[in-house]
Amino acid sequence: MRVWMVTALAALWILLLLGFWLPIEVRVRLAGGRLTWSLRCLGVGLSRSFVPAADPETVLVRILDLPDEIRRLGDRVRTMARALRGLRVDDLELEARLGTGDAAGTALLLGWLWAAAGTALPWLRRHIRRRPRLHLEPDFEGASAAVDLRLRLVVRVGTLIGMGVRMGARAAAAALRRRIAAPTAGDISR
């Protein structure tokens, strides 16, 4: 048993030293109100599908708050970039047909999305091996959302292990903080 364990650890160590790249394919689809995502790595796939619970009015409010959401996301970009250093994107393809039910709202939404895409494209072209393909189409007739995102990337095994260790340490620290902050039965005043 120990010989097998030592051999496995030695093989893992060699893979880490060589910077073994692991291919991953990600696909996210939103069509007919159903959100489906799938993840495929080394021939093994994982897929989930669900219907997001939201009425059209809530979706429109969220869409109109998109610039604020983008600003908040921008605050986290440095942290994400540090975590994704060992990640290489080989291919990116996005197709979307979006409508808010209101022609003006649809025009605003598509304008914001094209502005974001125009800002991101130079960076994407530098960091993606193949030229990214984006196709955004308005639906001025009604409220609809159909999105298909395909992403092909590769990541180093060592990066995955490091991200797992960091995420585990953060989760453990958060659990410890919750445990310290939670009152116990003896702490409740009478």
Name the token pair of 26: 């990600």
The pLDDT, as a whole number, for residue 187 is: 54
Mean pLDDT, rounded, for 103-124: 87
The pLDDT, as a whole number, for residue 137 is: 92
In a domain, 188, yes or no: no
Has residue 25 got a pLDDT over 80?
yes
In a domain, 184, yes or no: no
Nearest to 47 by CA among 33, 60, 28, 61: 28
In a domain, 178, yes or no: no
**Domain limits for position 149:** 20-167
By the 8 A CB rule, do 60 and 105 touch?
Answer: yes
In a domain, 84, yes or no: yes
If one counts the domains in the chain, the total is 1
Mean pLDDT, rounded, for 57-67: 60
Has residue 160 got a pLDDT over 60?
yes
Has residue 102 got a pLDDT over 80?
yes
Name the token pair of 124: 């994407």
Count of CA atoms in the C-beta half-sphere (13 A) of 86: 17
Has residue 90 got a pLDDT over 70?
yes
> Which is more confidently placed, 185 or 33?
33
Going from the C-alpha of 73 to that of each of 17, 101, 112, 113, 167, the distances in angstroms are 33, 26, 15, 14, 19
In a domain, 113, yes or no: yes
In a domain, 149, yes or no: yes
Kindly report the average pLDDT of the chain as a whole number: 76
> Which is more confidently placed, 87 or 84?
87
Has residue 17 got a pLDDT over 80?
no
The pLDDT, as a whole number, for residue 154 is: 82
In a domain, 11, yes or no: no
Has residue 59 got a pLDDT over 60?
no
In a domain, 183, yes or no: no
